[in-house]
Amino acid sequence: GFEGRMSVTIDDDKVHFATPEGRAGLKLVKHVRDNRNGHVLNTAAFTLLGLVIGVAALRVRESTQASVEWLLNQQIGTGNLNTLELNMDRGYWLLQFCVNLLKRGADLLGTVMRAAWFPLTYAQKLRESDKRVLVSQEGSKTLLRRESHARNLKKVEAFAYRNGNGGVTLGLSSRLRTNAWELVLGNPRDIRWYGNEEAETSNRWYTMVAGVDDSCNRFDAHLKRVQEGDTKKIQPIT
């Protein structure tokens, strides 16, 4: 049997031409973005290679989630999925579908649409009884995270990524284990410090961001001068 891990991506391929007479039990749906009627093919492929490993056509009176589960059962197996990382976009994830996959041991990764079961949302008016966290679309690049604590299941992280230009993307992952940080500049002009070719100065940058008292004070002072029009690069702390 297969002993390693595999990453599989599932996406929907929209067939643009289909007639009621020729659908042969397949579901005929409206493709909103394409403004076409046609069938839907749920296609599974190895994430890195793009090699197709299975296709399931959506049938009449069949949900998208049922079609995907059938595809996984046929191509991966009906039992434990603990060697599988499954990547899908927001059109696939429903709560019970996620629970079913987690119970079988699969790792999940994908974007998620706004829904009552998901703990984060944006651009909505929430009632007082709604426990979801409302993420502002305004502000700098930010990643907000919430952990699930469902019993007997893998820990899942829900996240909301704000891109700094008014956009927010929701997603989930069962493979986020530690916080991964990257430097995001509040003022694009500050990149001159980060790109300093002097190794010592560049290394000091990370010390200052970390919040050491002397470094932090020095950083704040330089930032204030830059905001006032000073174009000098930051100097190493001695």
SS3 label, residue 157: strand
- Could you report how far apart the first and last alpha carbons of the chain are, in Å? 60
pLDDT in tens, 112-171: 999 999 999 999 999 999 999 999 999 888 888 888 876 778 889 999 999 989 999 999
Residue 237, pLDDT > 80, answer no
Q: What is the mean pLDDT of residues 66-94?
A: 92
24 vs 71 pLDDT, higher one: 71
Residue 84, pLDDT > 60, answer yes
**120-122 and 133-135 beta bridge pairing:** parallel
Cα–Cα distance between 115 and 94 in angstroms, integer? 9
Contact 9, 88 (CB under 8 A): yes
Residue 154 has what pLDDT? 84
pTM metric for this prediction: 0.71
Parse the chain into domains and list their residue ranges: 1-107, 112-182, 188-227
In terms of average pLDDT, the best of 25-34, 88-97, 211-220 is: 88-97
Task: Supply the DSSP symbol for 90.
Answer: T
SS3 label, residue 197: coil
Query: Is 101 exposed, middle or buried (CB count within 10 Å of its CB: 0-12, 13-18, 19+)?
Result: buried
Alpha helices in the chain (DSSP H): 64-75, 95-103, 191-194, 199-210, 213-227
Residue 47, pLDDT > 80, answer yes
Q: Take residue 214 and report the two structure tokens written for it.
A: 């002397």
pLDDT in tens, 4-38: 789 999 999 988 876 767 678 888 888 877 788 88
236 vs 61 pLDDT, higher one: 61
Domain 1-107 has CATH 2.20.25: no
Contact 68, 11 (CB under 8 A): no
Residue 58 has what pLDDT? 93
227 vs 16 pLDDT, higher one: 16
